Amino acid sequence: MEGPVFWIGFFVFVLIMLALDLFVFHKKNKVIKVKSALLWSLFWIGLALAFNTAIYFLLPENNHQKALEFFTGYLIEESLSIDNLFVFIMIFGFFKIDPKYQHNVLFWGIIGAIVFRAIFIFAGVALIQKFAWIMYIFGAFLLYTGLKMLIDRKESSEFNPNENIVIKTFRKFFPVTDDMSVPAFFVKKDGKVFATTFFVALLFIEASDIIFAVDSIPAVLSVSTDVFIVYTSNIFAILGLRSLYFALSGIMPLFHYLKYALAGILSFIGIKMCVNEFAGDFGYDFHISNFASLGVIVGLLVISIIASVILKKEEGEKSQK
């Protein structure tokens, strides 16, 4: 595991970037334009690649392998996180959150994700180190999740956050107001504190991120069990998620087949975890490398996007006839 200097440096960097994001670059509530979001997405991706380069040159041991692990883990988390964007769109649509307030809600959602991911990752690595056979459990779970994603036919019209157990429990014990005239998470009325719809939306975002983490963290652990590599690759992907949301929200039709690519990625990683663990346990000279995983992930994503573009083009030609 990397020393405290690397951890301290990383957390200081994250805190500085979050402070600049909230108090300098986005201190005013405003609608994020697609062009601006694209530039910010490129900025966060650039930072991740710069950090990846720093890993290659600064880590004292296995720097080449660690750099590959970081990049593969980052790509897995980034691709799986795109699925979160569909949920964000439905959440903001359901609660009727004005676009100019969405960035602030997502910002605090990121703060929660940083904390929960740390808990899950440290717990996951500790379990693997103590019980190596749990890799079979993780692999089988990812394979099951991938297959379930392929056959799931649930429509977005069935989406109702108020039926979520976390939201129902919160509403049961804490008063909630539907008044959205004040863009705050809590307001005071007649001496009593009420949670607002903004906070309920934030709560659901946190709950959904925990659910997504159950898939994404085992997937990244298939690449590396180095806590520093797994956590930093996760956080860099999450930091750029808000900008990616605003950049892609207007072109979601280009991701019509993304679900199938993600299902394929999860299924492949699940098989990889089981196969590699089995080969190691029984001394077989076979191993699915991270480089091979990277090729499969990129290939599936590219194919899904190309297929989606072709579908959109065909639908446009039919509408013109």
Q: What is the pLDDT of residue 27?
A: 67
Q: Is residue 260 part of a domain?
A: no
Task: Kindly give the parts of the chain with pLDDT less than 70.
Answer: 1-2, 25-27, 153-159, 161-162, 249-254, 316-321
The answer to pTM > 0.85 is no
Q: Is residue 124 part of a domain?
A: yes
Q: Is residue 168 part of a domain?
A: yes
Q: Is residue 270 part of a domain?
A: no
pLDDT tens digits along 230-261: 999 999 998 888 888 887 766 666 677 878 88
Q: Is residue 281 part of a domain?
A: no
Q: What is the pLDDT of residue 69?
A: 92
Max Cα separation, the chain? 71
Number of domain units in the chain:
1
Pull the structure tokens for residue 278: 């089995």
Instruction: Give Cα separations from 280 to 40, 143, 146, 267, 284 (angstroms).
Output: 42, 20, 24, 20, 6
pLDDT tens digits along 258-317: 788 888 888 988 899 899 989 888 888 888 888 888 888 889 988 988 888 888 777 766
Q: Is residue 209 part of a domain?
A: yes
Q: Is residue 303 part of a domain?
A: no
Is 189 in a helix, a strand, or coil?
strand
Q: Is residue 157 part of a domain?
A: yes
Domain that includes residue 39, residue range: 4-253
